[in-house]
Structure 1
Amino acid sequence: MGSQSFTSAPLEAENPFFRRALFTFSGAHFLNDLVTTGMVPALVVMYKHALHLNYTQSTLIVLVSYFTSSVTQPVFGILTDRKPRVWLFSFGVFLSIAGLSLTAIAPSLTWLLLFIALSGFGSGVFHPEASRGTHFASGYKKGLAQAIFQVGGNAGQAFGPLMIPLFLVHTGIHGLIWLLPVALLSLILTAPLLGWMNSKVQNIQRRRKEIAGKNHIPGVILLVLVIILRSWCQVGVVIFLPFYMKHASLEMSELLNFVFVGAGALGTLFGGMISDRAGMKRLLVVSMFLATPFALLLPHLSGWLAVLDLLCFGFSVLSSFSVGVIYMQKLLPKNIALASGLSIGFGVGAGGIGSVFMGGVSDMFGVASVFTILSFLPMIGAVISCFLPNEKRLAN
């Protein structure tokens, strides 16, 4: 594989599982989610103290980041399904990193939200094209390929909080400006893949009318609800764990977040591999049910038991992450980019809305009440998952 060019479409036809492209998509996903869904929620504590914000104002940062990402993903998914624009893959990841780096010079909450929105917009335009490219490079191993792509993003989310104690604690918010070279590095990483992506897109566009299957809207609605509930679980833990564990240092709180999201990255990889054999609906239902007892126990544990619980909670609740994307592509076979926008973008945006809701709850009733709410979300998601259509009855 290493001796071939990205632009070699015949090679991909002979070897449907295109590893080199998949790991490039995964690496770009790592950089994008490192700064957006990884660092932004973890930075809320520092933004709060730097600009003297309350809990509701603090969670507005996450809402703006997630909402701009979620709105642009379905919109660009629809637009690029009609007329693909592969350059958005490179431009999006560059903008997401550059936008966050500019928050280093934000003098007020208004400017901070503007730069955060810029970063969220970049993430939004990145995901549809990146997910479409992953679909092209997956061959017959849809679950494994999507897992490789999503693990890159989940790993970025996991390492994002670790950037806080390792780097920003020593430099302050102003140290974020040093992410600009990383934004330039992302262009070097992603640009060589654009020629290959364009050739695949042109081929698919010529055969668009031959694609089998029709969109399953009721299933899409149910799956979006499950994705929203899962996103609320993830965002709730990442944002409010540092506030909930006041006795712990910032470094320890972010380390616990790393345990939660890092376990989720492992769960995503194993979930993607298992789903190719066990079935997507079955894995979705089982993973959400398994997450329920760990969510219920979390507010009542401390020390190493809390670490172990977070490990199991993150692994189980996020093991369906890549499966949700493939499932949505099955439900929307004629709109692959839109499927990505809904399964990744809309869920992320809903997480931002949920964070503001939970911020308001925290201001009124205390942070502990948030974890009471989180306890019941996986169970509700598992019940809804039972009513999803079986993917074996959907066209491949």
Structure 2
Amino acid sequence: MPRNRSIVLLSVGHACVDVYQGAVASLVPFFVAERAYTYAAASGIVLAASLLSSVAQPVFGALTDRRAVPWLLPVSTVLGGLGVALSGLSGSYPLTLLFVAVSGIGVAAYHPESARVARLAGRGSHSAMGWFSFGGNVGFAVAPLMVATVVATGGLRLTPLLVAPALVGSVLCLPVLRALEKTAAAGPGAAAVKGTDDKVSFVKLSLAVVCRSIVFVGLSTFISLYARQRTGGGTTAGTAALFVLYLGGAAGTVLGSRLANRWDRVTVVRMSYLITVGAVAGTIFVPGPSIYLFIALTSVGLYVPFSLQVTLAQDYLPSRVGTASGVTLGLTVSAGGLAGPLIGSIADAASLRTALAPLILMPALSWLLYRGMPEPATPNHLGGPTPATRLDDQSSEGLPYERRLARKINL
């Protein structure tokens, strides 16, 4: 299968999974309206999905470092959709938390393995990883529109209809996995670049992503409610704000991969975080419809680093690509989920603006963490075998993940 087609299928499949990450935050206003949840209770729903998902992702990443588990892609996609689909059927708060947690597990199982498959299918290309990440951002952007279309018309009882993208996504990944199986059977495969782990830079990168996640999760949880306050609009104004936040992320991901082809990734990420400081301040303090402009700038600024940080993490830990992917995409996001209830509690006690104001400091801290970080050696495009890792060896022991994946895929 041509590389571009594989990446397109993986990107669309990624959208079908990440639509459920966006759907949880998109459901918050409806939970508040139908069930009279407080800000703290509503943010607890987002925490249930993001915390379990984020903690589990490094576990799945470590698992995929040991053995290829391609069946996780279709299974986890369905699981992510099923949890969200069931979340609106019960008025019980504990059951709602349970269902969104199930969705979070599905998302957790999907990302480390899919990032590895995308690395293999894209042969290490930064642009390919950018387009793969772009699909996830589109899923986020579509989520508020999908939820509003379904739930606003018939209430939370219609959430089972939201399982449809999961069914589509689970089917789309199958041709890519079959193509990789055929590639393995044909002989030549993709070689991973070995190198020395830079654990210090990886830790600093992870802390920077923690700060980023606090901003993004905090805004995605409350921006629809905040935009309605600042503009005096109704549900449409809030949905539009969340849509802009997610759509800007899709644009930022593509822009980041393009900028990385001109400048090094560390420089692009550092400058993006610096610009984001002003954008977040504008989102919180500028009144009226202008808030949408600053939401868009904030989204682009937060997502320019997104795919670049995934490849940076993989290059800082070349011997443990799955773990690097799981931590970058998962564990660090839990900090944003943990901050959600705190933001909600402050909002209940004071105001949403007071609660959101500290978010301005987060991208500034990310910028500081990136100062002095080295640009790791750019990997080869994983397109050719190396003498040390021949596929015609009888044993898979010692082979890089991408070679083992190509050999072991068997649906």
What is the TM-score of this pair, normalised by structure 1? 0.89
Aligned pair 1:302/2:287, yes or no? yes
2: CA distance, partners of 1:306 / 1:202: 54
The residue that corresponds to 2:314 in the other structure is: 329
Aligned pair 1:347/2:332, yes or no? yes
The residue that corresponds to 2:122 in the other structure is: 138
| Equivalent in 235, 257, 260 of residue 242 of structure 2 | 257
1: CA distance, partners of 2:85 / 2:196: 42
Aligned pair 1:129/2:108, yes or no? no
- Render the CA deviation track for 1:83-107: whole Å, top value 9, x for unaligned: 1101101111111011110113223
The residue that corresponds to 1:318 in the other structure is: 303
Deviation of 1:58 (Å):
1.2
The residue that corresponds to 2:144 in the other structure is: 161
| Equivalent in 283, 286, 301 of residue 271 of structure 2 | 286
Q: Any conservation in 2 of the 1:230–1:318 contact (CA below 8 Å)?
A: no
| SS, match of residue 88 in structure 2 | helix
2: CA distance, partners of 1:304 / 1:104: 31
Equivalent residue runs for 1:1-396 within 5 Å: 6=1, 18-36=3-21, 38-139=22-123, 142-198=125-181, 211-244=193-226, 245-246=228-229, 247-392=232-377
Q: Any conservation in 2 of the 1:72–1:124 contact (CA below 8 Å)?
A: yes
Letter in 2 for 1:84: A
Which ranges of structure 2 fall in alignment gaps of 5 or more residues?
381-411
Q: Any conservation in 2 of the 1:84–1:201 contact (CA below 8 Å)?
A: no
Q: Any conservation in 2 of the 1:226–1:381 contact (CA below 8 Å)?
A: yes
* Larger CA deviation: 316-325 vs 176-185: 176-185
- Render the CA deviation track for 1:230-286: whole Å, top value 9, x for unaligned: 111111222112232332211111101211221121011010122133111001100
Letter in 1 for 2:207: L
Deviation of 1:33 (Å):
0.8
2: CA distance, partners of 1:116 / 1:314: 24
Over the matched positions of the two proteins, sequence identity in percent amounts to 26
Q: Any conservation in 2 of the 1:291–1:317 contact (CA below 8 Å)?
A: yes
- Render the CA deviation track for 1:133-168: whole Å, top value 9, x for unaligned: 11012225x221111011111111111112233221
Deviation of 1:194 (Å):
2.1
2: CA distance, partners of 1:337 / 1:50: 41
Q: Any conservation in 2 of the 1:51–1:109 contact (CA below 8 Å)?
A: no
Q: Any conservation in 1 of the 2:12–2:169 contact (CA below 8 Å)?
A: no
1: CA distance, partners of 2:281 / 2:365: 13
2: CA distance, partners of 1:196 / 1:58: 43
Q: Any conservation in 2 of the 1:88–1:125 contact (CA below 8 Å)?
A: yes
2: CA distance, partners of 1:147 / 1:82: 26
The count of corresponding residues between Structure 1 and Structure 2 is 377
- Render the CA deviation track for 1:119-146: whole Å, top value 9, x for unaligned: 0000000111110011012225x22111
What is the TM-score of this pair, normalised by structure 2? 0.86
Deviation of 1:179 (Å):
2.4
1: CA distance, partners of 2:184 / 2:350: 51
Q: Any conservation in 2 of the 1:164–1:254 contact (CA below 8 Å)?
A: no
Structural RMSD (CA):
2.2
| SS, match of residue 316 in structure 1 | helix
2: CA distance, partners of 1:159 / 1:223: 29
